[in-house]
Amino acid sequence: MIDVILGLQWGDEGKGKIVDWFAKNYDVIARFQGGPNAGHTLYVDNKKIVLHQIPSGVFHSNTENLIGNGVVLDPVILKKECNTVSSFGVDLKKNLFISERTHLILPTHRALDKAAEISKGHLKIGSTLKGIGPAYMDKTGRNGLRVGDLLDRNFTTSYIKLRLKHQKLLDNYAFTEDISSWEEEFFEAVDFLRQLNIVNGEYFINEKLRQGKKVLAEGAQGSMLDIDFGTFPYVTSSNTISAGVCSGMGVAPQKIRDVIGITKAYCTRVGSGPFPTELNDEIGEELRRIGNEFGATTGRPRRCGWIDLVALRYACMINGVTSLVMTKADVLDSFADLKVCIAYELNGKKSTEIPFQMEKAKIEPILKSLSGWKTNICAATDFKELPLNMKSYIEFINQYLGVPIHYISNGPEREQIVKVG
């Protein structure tokens, strides 16, 4: 069976810690989509580690970790990650596997990403400039190079042919930056990548399932950034929802059991795009400061606001969420008054549905006030220890969503998780 952990907001929900916490109960942890624009933060031996492509179960010695075919992989970033992980004594030869169908992010993809973002008249989505979008465009355009191609002796020739195609696009953007150093670094990383475990991912994962192994599929970004169901066009380039597990790993839908959704106790977003509950005031600034809301990958300040239950219920619906984990609940400890969005005023009418294009709709959040708890919950280890007002906050969200919160993260450390009930 496969359980899925994924984010239900606009990313940055704290999935890395939660996957790491659950990982001990699974035999295989697999990433099924996204690229190095994801930053999953873990704390290992009291040291902060940010993983961008390697699954978050890598520090558990008894787990195997698969980078699935739905991911787009940057060999340069992967090499750096591997060196960091190896410094903790992890033997990646034993527990890291990469699907041969995984598409590669090339230096020219990064160049195209940068060229588009700075080009006049081009939609500015706040790209991380990691080459994610161009790599997925080559995948759907049937031009991309994959990890399995690295084992072909003609790989360099294939790269040069694709580079020439990319150069024509770069010329159209009038992009003149020299990327020769990027390419040198890329081919060094490619040599490193060839030494890792490159496998037929779909046979690998289905054989594990046949053996009765327990698999945890780890999502990147968040459901509201899904290419189909997110706040298009301000989205990522892959399917971030649970349906992406099947195409991103090569498994059948009936293999999926539980879908564990991750939500913050409030809401954040990085980059451009609609954000109905955003707080452009001192409260938003306080959430950012207390929550240390700066991108794990880019360092960019995150936009902050109250929890949006309209968007959250939508995300639960399209993912088939069976249980929830609420992260960063401790960030709300200092607030006497809290608010939650229970509906939108949409073009003058009340609605509890996500509109077709949020950025073109005039949305005013309808907020319900709840009392804060004004208590430090970081030391709590049992649900009974949590303040009454916090329990009321949790219960209100449970009833609105129709999906139970089973765990609460009350701090950044690995063991700071409280089981509800």
Statement to judge: residues 243 and 272 lie in one domain? no
Q: Which two tokens stand for residue 145?
A: 């190079």
pLDDT of residue 122: 58
> How many domains, the chain?
3
Q: pLDDT (tens digit, 9 = 90+) per residue, 287-335?
A: 999 999 987 666 789 999 999 999 999 999 999 999 999 999 999 999 9
Domain stops at, among 240, 260, 280: 260
Instruction: Say whether both 107 and 185 belong to one domain.
Output: yes
Provide the H-helix boundaries in 173-308. Answer: 180-194, 201-210, 244-249, 282-291
Contacts of 408 (CB under 8 A, 6+ apart): 325, 326, 329, 383, 386, 394, 417, 418, 420
Q: Which pLDDT score, from 0 to 100, does residue 125 have?
A: 61
Give the per-residue pLDDT at 84. 92
Domain boundary among 260, 278, 301: 260
Of 242, 260, 278, the domain-final residue: 260
pLDDT of residue 158: 96
The verdict on 225 and 318 lying in the same domain is no
What are the catalytic residues?
12, 40
Residue 386 has a pLDDT of: 96
Output the pLDDT for position 120. 59
323-327 and 405-409: which strand pairing? parallel
Cβ(266)–Cβ(329) below 8 Å: no
Query: Rounded CA gap, 349 and 286, in Å?
Result: 31
Same structural domain, 29 and 108: no
Q: What is the pLDDT of residue 312?
A: 98
- CA nearest to 5, candidates 68, 214, 16: 16
Q: Which domain holds residue 339?
A: 262-419
Q: Do 205 and 69 fall within a single domain?
A: yes
Instruction: Give the chain's residues under pLDDT 70.
Output: 119-127, 296-298
Rounded to 5 degrees, what are φ and ψ at 45?
50, 40
The predicted pLDDT at position 124 comes to 58
Q: How far apart are the first and last CA of the chain?
A: 26
The CA-CA-CA angle for residues 381, 38, 192, to 5°, reads 115
- Looking at the structure, tell me whether residues 328 and 248 fall in a common domain: no
Question: Regarding beta strands 96-99 and 64-67, do their DSSP bridges make them parallel or antiparallel, or are they unpaired?
Answer: parallel
Same domain, yes or no: 318 and 397: yes
Same domain, 275 and 366: yes
Quote the pTM value: 0.93
